Amino acid sequence: MRPSVLRRLLRRVASTAALVLVAAVPGTVAAAQPAAAAGGLEQVTAFGTNPGNLQMYEYAPAGLPANAPLVVALHGCTQTATDYYTHSGWPEYADRWGFAVVFPQTTSANNALSCFGWFDPAEDSRDRGEAASIVQMVEHAKQQYGSDARRVYVTGLSAGGGMTADLLAAYPDVFAGGSVASGLPAQCATSQAAASGCQTGPQKLTPAQWGDKVRGAHPGYAGPWPRVAIWQGTSDYTVYPANATALRDQWTDVWGIGQTPSSTDTLPGNTTRSVYDDASGKPAVETYSVAGMGHGLAVSAGPGADRCGSTGAYFLSALCSTYYTGVFWGLDQGAPGGGRLPAPSGLRVTGVTADSASLSWDPVPGAASYTVHRDGTKVASPASTAYTDTGLAAGTAYQYTVTAVDESATSGAPSPQVTATTSGGTPARCLTATNYAHVAAGRAHTTGGYAYANGSNENMGLYNVFVTHTLRESPAGYFVIADTGCTNR
């Protein structure tokens, strides 16, 4: 018997305790079955030598032009390609923005819970196993659709997220960007036995040590590096939030840009986005921390340019992660040389009362309307360059951003954030202290060794005296992380 075949048989009979990323509901664990073609999802049976024994599914909108982008979307454990196709929202944006999507699928023949082998060097290394099979799918799709080799991206959830990070490290010459949702740092584990330790708390490595794991996956490669989005729920107890921190450390070190964000803002679904710009001022790494969300991919069903997907097992209602990931990669910009509308400039607060805040901004050429977001939530779509937000609480600070919207209903880049504080009442407070002191003062609480802000439940990092944050309190008893731009008024 060939060693590769023997190895796969041994993996199938491994004990349940050794299996990784057990994402099924307790008591209902079952191996995923092969996906059947659903609607526009089609299976490709001949795409290469397929050393990783994977299945290839794909979706492309009708009339897809040559030189369109290509996205690879990797499911999580116990899931199938059909699950990801149905719930993730990627087909919706493929139709809207014009790109093809490849949905690789592993099965119980590879792993009893249908997990991608992100922890196995025989599967996640360059030119080996499942990683090599996925790249063969990419090459097949590029030839089939005439895809732009400069705009190939990969995203994945859970074990698919771990494999995404490994692919970005092993094939930075293939993938221009990646998105890791509830996943693991590249090369966090190199054996199945070590995988569970990564899930609950990865190794305590420096950013440079994490970065070395990427650089070691394709020795001699000097860039350019993929741009990486990192998605994590603060209440994820399958893949703990410490993995998002390790991922950030890893990829900011690879980019050589440090671990202090260039900007931080609030998005829908109680989500905090931190942006890490490269030397040219372009976002290279972005982290999205979804307060209170467990293990899964963030989706947000409903109409609207920034809504997508549907809820299901490990597809959780918060915001459309696919939309924000696609915008980060530039998929909404069409062909090279095109572009969405720029961010409105000059956003300013022109007046406040006890229950209202008035804003204005400079016009954007080509804008059909504008979208105003308050604390990350859309509140209005005015046609003019001014808006008064009403029904607010007295003495409360609110954060606003504005985007321009073109005639095709595509939103542009968000403006810099401004803060409007209504008059009267008790103004917001900004309090800076260690995580230990915040917990002791009743502004935060602990779970699993981490501190979480009371009210927003935002993950503040490890519960100790070495991590310091500024919390903004507004209204009383509700705290959010506000490490930049928070001042007492």
Cite the active site residues: 158
Cα dihedral across residues 415, 418, 422, 423: positive or negative: negative
Q: Following DSSP, what letter does each residue of 254-293 receive, concatenated?
A: HHT--SS-SEEEEETTTEEEEEEE-TTS-EEEEEEEETT-
Q: Following DSSP, what letter does each residue of 315-326 receive, concatenated?
A: EEES--HHHHHH
Q: Using an 8 Å Cβ cutoff, are 52 and 80 in contact?
A: no
CA distance 197 to 161: 16
Count other Cβ atoms within 10 Å, centred on residue 407: 9
Chain centre to alpha carbon of residue 265: 15
* Strand-by-strand arrangement of the 377-380 sheet: 377-380, 369-374, 397-405, 418-421
- The contacts of residue 448 (CB under 8 Å, 6+ apart) are 237, 240
Q: Using an 8 Å Cβ cutoff, are 399 and 423 in contact?
A: no
Q: The tokens of 148 are what?
A: 């732009």
Q: The tokens of 441 are what?
A: 């003062």
CA distance 73 to 19: 22
Element (H, E) at 72: strand 70-74
Of 92, 82, 141, 87, nearest to 317 (Cα)? Answer: 87
Locate all alpha helices (DSSP H) within 176-284, ordered by sequence. 192-200, 207-215, 242-255
